[in-house]
Structure 1
Amino acid sequence: MLVEEMMQSEVVTLSPTAAIADGLKLRHINHIKHIPIVDETNQIIGIVSDRDLRIAAPSIFNESQEQHVLSHEIQSIMSHPVVTVHPLDLSEEVAHIFYDKDISCLPVVSDNKLIGMITASDMLYTLIQLTGTNVQSSQIEIKVPHKPGVLPEAAAVFGKRQTNITSVLLYPYNDDPNYKILVFRIQTINPLPVIQDLRKAGYTLMWPNNIAGPKQ
């Protein structure tokens, strides 16, 4: 999935000379946690988080603290330079950036212009879609040899039952490079017939592994 399919295209921004008070008001009205700071050509020059605003705002428990801090320009508390992504970047690449940079928001930039935003929550929702957990389904995990052609061979077992596969994932089996785990999500609430077929075909069931079937 591409970034342009996941991003929020309607983005609320501020200019660098806007007051911190404007940022607080914008956060409250729009219920957002990140405000991109852009120049007059809509190029992103910084970003202000909910945490930045909370730190900058005067404490309600300290009446002597000067309130004029709210009139300071918001560029005084923004973070820069800003890590950005392109609308044609892949979701897997974006997930790596979120993890490696330990951030929760990424502006989307094309031709040096801000065109959208993607958050960690957007990324999580995309993962839910990619894994098929957003639809009623059953999960089956099988251990398979790490060799060419194993995926269509296993998928053929589901095809014989005319079972619809909503998603397929592949991940390593412990530290053994000779095997992988195939994870199928299928659109049925009764996976028992397919599980029995997989066992008869010689596959080792990793999940569910508590359903009786022929010995392997």
Structure 2
Amino acid sequence: MKISQHMTRPVVTVPPELTIPEARELLRSRHFRHLPVVDGEGALLGIVTDRDLRSAYPSTVLDEAEGKARLQDLAQTPVSSIMSQAIFTLPAAATLDDALLLLDREQVGALPVVDEGGRVVGIFSIRDLMRAYRTLFGLGERGSAMLTLLDDGRPRPLSRLCAALEQADIHFNRLLKTQAEDGRKIIYLRVNTYNLAAVHKVAAAAGFEPHREA
């Protein structure tokens, strides 16, 4: 579950002297929202987002002459003048959980991934995170289904259910115990099979009945 397996790479980076219109066109043509700004050695200096670029452009309420003058200035303005230098990054060894917590805490859309020398080796976005979890948990795959079972209250419920499923050769990729709103302990089980009746039969034999809302 390392982000190095799911990050976007090779990542498109830009030098600090790139002009704002050039950066805007790059984002538009590549359908990106974030551009890491790096020095000649590939070390991260800052990041420019589509929001930064939109803010740099003149307001539509300006008169024509003032707006034209502003656009002429922008044509010579480097991205280094608007890039954010307060950057949150991740090492390639970080996990998907690390990325999720940092993205949520800092409310950013993407995180540059850097090596020990601070050089950009990838970028990890919310879209990458969603794609990674979808892959890991088999979401959207044919035959993928989530079942909700009632914990029978006996010791080691997950171990017992896991053993029963493996013995029956039923493929599953998520097994989680939590507590429902009604206070009962339940188990979420994601399986990859069309034969859900067989899964319920195996679970019932191991002591686990379907959880039904109270």
What TM-score comes out, normalization by structure 1 length?
0.84
What secondary structure is seen at the aligned counterpart in 2 of 1:12?
coil
* Counterpart-to-counterpart distance in 2, 1:84 and 1:171: 32
Residue 93 of structure 2 corresponds to which residue in structure 1?
88
**Off by >6 Å, runs of 4+ in structure 1:** 145-148
Greater Cα shift, 121-130 or 66-75: 66-75
Q: Alpha carbons of 1:5 and 1:146: their partners in 2 closer, same or farther (altered >3 Å)?
A: farther
Residue 134 of structure 2 corresponds to which residue in structure 1?
128
Q: Alpha carbons of 1:144 and 1:170: their partners in 2 closer, same or farther (altered >3 Å)?
A: same
Task: Report the alpha carbon displacement of residue 86 of structure 1 after superposing the two structures with TM.
Answer: 0.6
* Counterpart-to-counterpart distance in 1, 2:155 and 2:38: 49
What secondary structure is seen at the aligned counterpart in 2 of 1:103?
coil
Q: Alpha carbons of 1:96 and 1:171: their partners in 2 closer, same or farther (altered >3 Å)?
A: farther
Residue type at the aligned position of 2:32:
I
Residue 29 of structure 2 corresponds to which residue in structure 1?
29
For 1:143-158, list aligned pairs within 5 A.
143-144=150-151, 149-158=156-165
Identity of aligned residues (%): 26
Residue type at the aligned position of 1:138:
A
Greater Cα shift, 64-73 or 84-93: 64-73
Residues 12-60 of structure 1: CA deviation (Å, up to 9, x unaligned)? 1122222111111211221211011111221111101011111112346
Residue 186 of structure 2 corresponds to which residue in structure 1?
181
Task: Report the alpha carbon displacement of residue 202 of structure 1 after superposing the two structures with TM.
Answer: 2.6
Residue 44 of structure 1 corresponds to which residue in structure 2?
44
* Counterpart-to-counterpart distance in 1, 2:198 and 2:41: 60
* Counterpart-to-counterpart distance in 2, 1:171 and 1:80: 42
For 1:65-80, list aligned pairs within 5 A.
65=67, 66-70=70-74, 71-80=76-85
Q: Alpha carbons of 1:46 and 1:145: their partners in 2 closer, same or farther (altered >3 Å)?
A: farther
Q: Alpha carbons of 1:171 and 1:79: their partners in 2 closer, same or farther (altered >3 Å)?
A: farther
Residue 18 of structure 2 corresponds to which residue in structure 1?
18
Greater Cα shift, 62-71 or 34-43: 62-71
Say whether the 8 Å CA contact 2:46–2:87 is kept in structure 1.
Answer: yes
* Counterpart-to-counterpart distance in 1, 2:30 and 2:79: 17
Task: Report the alpha carbon displacement of residue 68 of structure 1 after superposing the two structures with TM.
Answer: 2.2
Indicate whether 1:159 and 2:163 are aligned.
no
Indicate whether 1:168 and 2:194 are aligned.
no
Residue 214 of structure 1 corresponds to which residue in structure 2?
none
Task: Report the alpha carbon displacement of residue 164 of structure 1 after superposing the two structures with TM.
Answer: 1.6
Say whether the 8 Å CA contact 1:168–1:182 is kept in structure 2.
Answer: no
What secondary structure is seen at the aligned counterpart in 1 of 2:48?
strand
Task: Report the alpha carbon displacement of residue 81 of structure 1 after superposing the two structures with TM.
Answer: 1.9
* Counterpart-to-counterpart distance in 2, 1:134 and 1:174: 25
Gaps of 5+ in 2: none
Gaps of 5+ in 1: 211-216
